[in-house]
A and B are shown apart, each in its own frame.
Chain A
């Protein structure tokens, strides 16, 4: 199991370490700065900041050494024929960072929807022009909290680094099988209740809050969607809604068990227009049978007037599948050592949590 946990918040990056039988804050990095993404292992840790005045920044540290700022992803000059592009050619924020499956390669998903690649461990970034220049990209829609569309999930097939899936909020699921040279929208079977009927099942109108896949069975993918939870058994091409979820189907986060293709976790909120836990009780929901049934896990979680919302990157599982963690908009941070059966509060009053990630995950 992994003994280091990164928690990115509205006011800094918290390094949480397990010593003995308890998780504790070992160090606070970038105190005061909004953290939007983190990616780390024993060799290097990357984090993205969204400085209110001075823009989005990316930093790296080797091992436990000092942090160094890297070049931030940047859009090329906006050409004249893009004057009617509804989205800015300017980096809003880095929303997710993932390893690319080959040494030195990283992917960064951003608002306003640019996908960036680095081949030199973040020292430089280039915009994926094939995706950005697709006419369909202009149909992507902005999301609450950002007003711009964003790439929230980048899934790289562990068997083939050229095979990539992107989750876009709002813009469906996009696939490349040639390392990003070409892209196509692939999702079928999702629906958006709030869209006009003729667009309800249109793949590009789907609000993919978050994607997760089983590392050992990468064809198995899970999605927390704006209108429910879905599972795919063909790497994101077709989706089946998991209607058995309770106490509600709305939420942002999903985590997939790294080895068991039938196990995943979600953190439901009441509904779109009431983004708080059902009845003021924080619960995690787990399926262990591929979504046919769900268990509501609440041991150790606040069950009285708790209004913690868990954002899309704030639920994490480590490589063991037994150790989990999640953080909330109210600054709560909880961990589980038994696959979610029971939870322990690590901190109650952190700044609002945007991202939780185990080192090495």
Chain B
């Protein structure tokens, strides 16, 4: 099963840790994490279900391409990283 890890910045607001999730796409994998922690959804996705503008998700070291519908495929061996994009001051 793919493994999903979250930026430490999110631990400021949420009790989260690296998790194994099921799913064939990055959207399905994230949904698995949201089922465990419903508040997490609003931190990663916007109202329309797209990745927040300043959140990045990497699969196997590459950023996801479909930030709107999250259809990028994932495999059981993939590592998914949810990061904050660099911004702000």
Contacts and interface: CB of A to CB of B under 8 A. Distances in A.
A55 B44 CA distance: 8
Interface string B2-45: 00000001100100000000000000000000000001001110
A52 B54 contact: yes
B48 A89 contact: yes
Given A53-B9, A53-B87, A91 B54 contact: no
Given A69-B13, A69-B39, A52 B88 contact: yes
Interface residues of B, number: 17
Contacts of B39: 69
B52 A53 contact: yes
Given A69-B13, A69-B39, A72-B42, A55 B48 contact: no
B13 A90 contact: no
B85 A55 contact: no
Nearest to B84: A53
Contact of A75 (B9, B43, B47, B84): B47
A89 B47 contact: yes
A78 interface: yes
B87 A90 contact: no
A53 B42 contact: no
A78 B48 CA distance: 7
Contacts of A91: 46-47
B48 A54 contact: no
Interface residues of A, number: 16
A348 to B, nearest CB: 21
Contacts of B44: 54
Nearest to B9: A53
A55 B43 contact: yes
B48 A90 contact: yes
A74 B43 contact: no
Given A53-B9, A53-B87, A75 B52 contact: no
B48 A77 contact: yes
Nearest to A76: B47
A74 B48 CA distance: 9
A55 B9 contact: no
B63 to A, nearest CB: 15
A132 to B, nearest CB: 12
A69 B87 CA distance: 24
B18 to A, nearest CB: 18
B30 to A, nearest CB: 14
Interface in A56-84: 57, 69, 71-72, 74-75, 77-78
Contact of A90 (B46, B54, B88): B46
Nearest to A73: B47
B55 interface: yes
Contacts of B87: 52-53
Nearest to B45: A55
B88 to A, nearest CB: 4
Contacts of A89: 47-48
B20 to A, nearest CB: 23
Given A69-B39, A74-B47, A55 B52 contact: yes
Contacts of A90: 46-48
Interface of B: 9-10, 13, 39, 42-44, 46-48, 52, 54-55, 84-85, 87-88
Interface of A: 51-55, 57, 69, 71-72, 74-75, 77-78, 89-91
Given A51-B13, A52-B87, A91-B46, 12 more contacts: A51-B43, A52-B88, A53-B85, A54-B10, A54-B13, A54-B52, A54-B84, A55-B42, A74-B47, A77-B48, A89-B47, A90-B47
By Cβ-Cβ distance, the 5 closest A-B pairs, closest first, are A53-B84, A54-B43, A52-B88, A53-B54, A90-B47
14 contacts: A51-B13, A51-B43, A52-B54, A53-B85, A54-B10, A54-B13, A54-B44, A54-B55, A54-B84, A71-B42, A72-B42, A77-B48, A90-B47, A91-B47
